[in-house]
A and B are shown apart, each in its own frame.
Chain A
Amino acid sequence: MTAKIAYGDIEVGTELPTQTFPVTRATLVQYAGASGDFNPIHWNEKFAKEVGLPDVIAHGMFTMAEAIRVVTDWAGDPGAVVEYGVRFTKPVVVPNDEQGATIEVSGKVAAKLDDNRVRVDLTVKSAGQKVLGMSRAVVQLA
């Protein structure tokens, strides 16, 4: 249950390949079904605006799921993720058009830990704004 990346090959500051993830209204409906989170702020524009949001917003847990893909794609084995945490700081607003929104995720090794583990800090943005804070994963390397 360890990654294909060797601890010895990694230095603090090593960058993970940046990825961009699209999210449309259809994505949110699909995620609602798969996750069981049917909160109408994620699919009903009228409801979202009534509770003071600018528009329908993505599930925070959807954004969290996309962000860790930068780590799992890099590590090879998703089971190498031993810790993962985020703070939901800003919503990802998803307009009702074919483009929707995009979530841009970059990652960097911030610390080398004991037992061949590293801490990766993620930067997660949508429409130029950070949407997750304190987004960190601890990964077990080979």
Chain B
Amino acid sequence: MALDQSFVGRSYPPTDPYEVGREKIREFAQAVGDTNPAYTDPEAAKALGHSDVIAPPTFVFAITFKAAAQVTTDPQLGLDYSRVVHGDQKFAYTRPVRAGDRLRVTSTIEAIKSMAGNEILDIRGEVHDEAGEHVVTAWTKLVARGADATEGEA
């Protein structure tokens, strides 16, 4: 069933703050094999002008995607999450995420489209720090494959 177009523009309440830890950043950097010292050494980060270690550019996705669950599990929207794949992802940064940040995410449904039997959902996550300053915006495009569209496809 097609998703209700009246949900376009709907915003969900800001999430509780996520506190970014140095060791969580280190764990993420190690998992992607990235040895850039800006992620693990506060002195190296300071030499680049950052007040503490910073997170790799895609680190924040774990936070925004968790926040987007408010949308994807909204029973009123009725998305069949078992059919969802990640279509596109984009970030626009005011500054990098860094250790010590307490980040809140406000998720908004930007668009709902039906194409070739698939439902396409665009979610924008605005990430702000404790002072209310913008840090990064994440745009996530989710594609819920239609029942007919999946037959015989990889």
Q: What's the least CB distance linking A106 to chain B, in Å?
A: 18
> Could you tell me if A84 and B36 are in contact, using CB atoms closer than 8 angstroms?
no
- Bits for A53-87, please: 1 = Cβ < 8 Å to B, else 0: 11000001110111011001100111101111111
> Could you tell me if A78 and B38 are in contact, using CB atoms closer than 8 angstroms?
yes
Query: Cα distance A78–B57 when bound, in Å?
Result: 7
> Could you tell me if A34 and B30 are in contact, using CB atoms closer than 8 angstroms?
yes
Query: Cα distance A66–B36 when bound, in Å?
Result: 13
State how many residues of chain B have any CB contact under 8 Å with chain A.
36
Query: Mostly helix, strand, loop or mixed at chain A's interface?
Result: mixed
Seen from chain A, the residues whose Cβ lies within 8 Å of a Cβ on chain B are: 1-2, 21, 27, 30-31, 33-37, 52-54, 60-62, 64-66, 68-69, 72-73, 76-79, 81-88, 134
Seen from chain B, the residues whose Cβ lies within 8 Å of a Cβ on chain A are: 27-28, 30-34, 36, 38-39, 48-50, 54, 56-58, 61-62, 65-66, 85-93, 95-96, 139, 150, 153-154
CB-based closest 7 A-B pairs? A85-B90, A34-B31, A79-B96, A65-B32, A65-B58, A77-B48, A31-B31
